[in-house]
Amino acid sequence: MIEAKTALDCPITDRSAGLDLPDRAEFVLSLVRVARARMQLAILDLDHIGLAVKFGVIHPAQAVAMLRDMGADDFPYPPDVSLWGAA
């Protein structure tokens, strides 16, 4: 059986964890800074993939594979279109 998560399961919101409000706020701010840095890196990766396709350094299918590896493949494309070209 899966137990529901409550505020007591999180050291940020659980007052018995021993973190006072300024410490919790600083912890959350550090989480935001880390998330922001990760997003900036993802944006740079996307820019590099786009430029590589634009200038013919990589094949579009390679770009799709790279996007899938990044977890950024939530874009629609027709399933009957071969990305590797005519067979």
Residue 17 lies inside a defined structural domain of this protein: yes
Query: For residue 71, which of 35, 54, 46, 37 has the smallest C-alpha distance?
Result: 46
Residue 82 lies inside a defined structural domain of this protein: no
Q: What is the pTM of this model?
A: 0.62
Total of domains in the chain: 1
pLDDT 10s digits, 34-83: 999 999 999 999 999 999 999 999 998 898 888 888 887 666 665 555 55
pLDDT band of residue 5 (cuts 50, 70, 90) is: low
Range(s) of the domain holding residue 49: 7-70
CB-based contacts of 80: which residues, under 8 Å, 6+ apart? none
